[in-house]
């Protein structure tokens, strides 16, 4: 007989597997810095590592949702997962903070802040979509 917790883990695992098979189509639309960071971090792993992380994420999420005690294996996995996540730069900084930095005279605006943090994530020039088109 399966417990309610096991059913919850299986349900979350199925949802995450479906999202994974769909290329994270729904998650990619979530305008949240932590979601972007998670997706970039997750993409670095091999398929077998991704499968392990899907299972651990489902187990951890079920524990947090149900209030059950997290098993030691999931707890230790969760503690190590975020240690090598990408950090810094414009991509992993919240929009509200970026907007405030852009207006700030103290740090020299957004460019001044990026330079003070040593970030290499300076804005790129957008592609010239008009190249080769007549101006008429």
Residues 38 and 92 grouped into a single domain: no
Is the residue at 76 inside a domain?
A: yes
Task: Give this prediction's pTM.
Answer: 0.61
Nearest-10 Cα torsion for 29, 35, 36, 40? -120
Domain extent for 68: 4-84
Residues 80 and 13 grouped into a single domain: yes
Residues 14 and 60 grouped into a single domain: yes
Nearest Cα neighbor of 94 from 26, 36, 44 is: 36
Reported as a single tens digit per residue, the pLDDT across 52-89 is 888 888 888 888 888 888 877 776 665 655 566 666 66
Q: Count the residues in the chain.
A: 136
Is the residue at 105 inside a domain?
A: yes
Q: Which residue has the higher pLDDT, 31 or 104?
A: 104
Residues 76 and 119 grouped into a single domain: no
Residues 73 and 117 grouped into a single domain: no
Q: Which residue has the higher pLDDT, 22 or 135?
A: 22
């Amino acid at each position: 007989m399966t417990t309610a917790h096991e059913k919850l883990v299986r349900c979350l695992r199925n949802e995450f597997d479906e999202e994974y098979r769909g290329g994270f189509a729904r998650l990619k639309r979530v305008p949240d810095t932590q979601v972007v960071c998670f997706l970039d971090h997750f993409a670095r792993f091999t398929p077998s590592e991704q499968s392990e992380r899907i299972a651990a994420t489902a187990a951890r999420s079920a524990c947090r949702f149900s209030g059950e005690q997290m098993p030691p294996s999931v707890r230790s996995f969760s503690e190590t997962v975020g240690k090598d996540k990408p950090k810094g730069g414009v991509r992993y900084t919240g929009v509200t903070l970026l907007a405030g930095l852009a207006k700030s005279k103290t740090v020299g605006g957004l460019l001044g802040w990026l330079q003070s943090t040593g970030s290499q994530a300076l804005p790129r020039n957008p592609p010239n979509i008009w190249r080769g088109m007549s101006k008429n």
